[in-house]
Amino acid sequence: MKIVGTVDELRDLLRPARRSERTIGLVPTMGALHEGHLSLIRQAREQCEVVVMSLFVNPAQFEEPADLDAYPRDHARDGELAAGVGVDYLFAPGVEEVYPQGFTSRVSVSGVTEPLEGQHRGTAHFEGVTTVVAKLFNMVQPDVAYFGQKDAQQAVVIRRLALDLDFAVRIEICPTVREPDGLAMSSRNERLSPSDRRRATALHRALRAAAEAIASDERTTGTVIAAAMAELENVELDYFELVNPDTLAPVGERIDGGEVLAVVAARVGATRLIDNQSIQVPSTSDGEQAGSAKQEVLHCSARC
Ligand code: PAF
């Protein structure tokens, strides 16, 4: 694995691959790698001939300087892990390389950035994400870019960005990787104290409670949400919502058939965590499909 710090060097290194039409996969990260990131890299390794992982703790997407300072950084460990799963180029630019003196441009996506995280963290967060991701797409010019479903809203926003601005990149969203007790893997988990770590499983339990309620033919949104809320009493909740997976608009008072995305964000101690689960909703009249919703819950129980 080669570590690269500048855009010029990266372009020089990728030129032969591009000329010989080898597929280039990009896994954008902010480091503090865990199994979730490694699963993205493994998927990129399987599907692409050249794998680039970017490692850049993007100041533009942190709304609080303290949060940026507290973000875990261990580039040596990240380098070892990345090399171990087959990254070819570790692109780790400095802040000046990404945001040189005089930088004033921003890339922003409206609509899907506004609810949920946009409402609780401010839209500047997603503007920071879309600006850096657009820059990474231009710097690396990947054929495929890999993101995690764990950041469900970010995934929707990035798909929108790529579509709207005609980036010639396929966006792959990979499944959330979970700890054995269901907690979604996140770089933020290492900040949890042992007691907060135990409380943090509430997010996953709430998602499961919602999925189970739907699998038991409950279709009143308020009742499904109440079942989830019962699991969230010991955390400081920002939101628990059932939304359309494409538009992120809240579902109406009743849940129709199709796919619903359950999304949750909460503070556990000083750490803010997010999680989500896609739920296939059968129409209640269709017995065969109702069985498949139950299967989805069972599948989730087995996996989580
Ligand atoms: O998901 C992340 O780690 C970041 O938001 C990303 C996509 C690497 C942009 O900084």
Ligand 1 atom with least separation from CA of 29: 8
Alpha carbon of 63 to ligand 1 centroid (Å): 14
- Type of residue at 93: P
pTM score, whole prediction: 0.93
Alpha carbon of 173 to ligand 1 centroid (Å): 13
- Type of residue at 156: V
Identify the CA nearest to 256 among candidates 222, 303, 219. 219
Ligand 1 atom with least separation from CA of 54: 8
pLDDT of residue 264: 99
Looking at ligand 1, which residue's alpha carbon is closest to its atom 5? 129
Residues having CB closer than 6 A to ligand 1 are 28-30, 58, 61, 129, 132-133, 151, 154
For residue 91, the cross-strand partners are 4, 54
Look up 120 and say whether it is catalytic.
no
What's the pLDDT tens digit per position in 77-86?
A: 999 999 999 9
Ligand 1 pocket test: which of 63, 129, 131 has the largest number of ligand atoms within 8 Å of its C-beta?
129
Identify the CA nearest to 91 among candidates 36, 145, 156, 131. 145
- At residue 140 the predicted structure's pLDDT band, cuts being 50, 70 and 90, is very high
Structural domains of the chain, with CATH: 2-174 (3.40.50.620), 187-303 (3.30.1300.10)
Place of tokens 């509430």: 202
Given a cut of 80, whether residue 288 has pLDDT beyond it is: no
Residues 6+ apart with CB under 8 A from 78: 29, 31, 32, 33, 55, 90
Task: Classify 112 as helix, strand or coil.
Answer: coil
Average pLDDT, the chain: 93
Q: Are the C-beta atoms of 82 and 53 separated by less than 8 Å?
A: yes
Looking at ligand 1, which residue's alpha carbon is closest to its atom 3? 29
Alpha carbon of 279 to ligand 1 centroid (Å): 25
Instruction: Write down the catalytic residue from 34, 37, 204, 299.
Output: 37
Query: Taking every pair of C-alpha atoms in the chain, what is the biggest distance, in angstroms?
Result: 62
Beta-carbon neighbour count of residue 110 at 10 Å? 11
Tell me the C-alpha distance between 97 and 78, whole Å.
Answer: 20
Ligand 1 pocket test: which of 26, 29, 150 has the largest number of ligand atoms within 8 Å of its C-beta?
29
Given a cut of 60, whether residue 292 has pLDDT beyond it is: no
Task: Give one DSSP letter per residue of 42-111, joined into a string.
Answer: HHHHHH-SEEEEEE---GGG-SSHHHHHHS---HHHHHHHHHHTT-SEEE---HHHHS-TT--------S
Identify the CA nearest to 188 among candidates 118, 120, 273. 273
Given a cut of 60, whether residue 130 has pLDDT beyond it is: yes
Ligand 1 atom with least separation from CA of 158: 7
Identify the CA nearest to 138 among candidates 179, 166, 157. 166
Identify the CA nearest to 273 among candidates 282, 261, 283, 263. 263
Given a cut of 60, whether residue 297 has pLDDT beyond it is: no
Alpha carbon of 302 to ligand 1 centroid (Å): 29
Q: Are the C-beta atoms of 41 and 86 separated by less than 8 Å?
A: yes
Ligand 1 pocket test: which of 54, 58, 185 has the largest number of ligand atoms within 8 Å of its C-beta?
58
What's the pLDDT tens digit per position in 268-287?
A: 999 999 999 999 998 765 44
Beta-carbon neighbour count of residue 211 at 10 Å? 26
Token digits for 32?
């503090």
Per-residue pLDDT, averaged over 120-133, amounts to: 96
Place of tokens 């460990």: 77
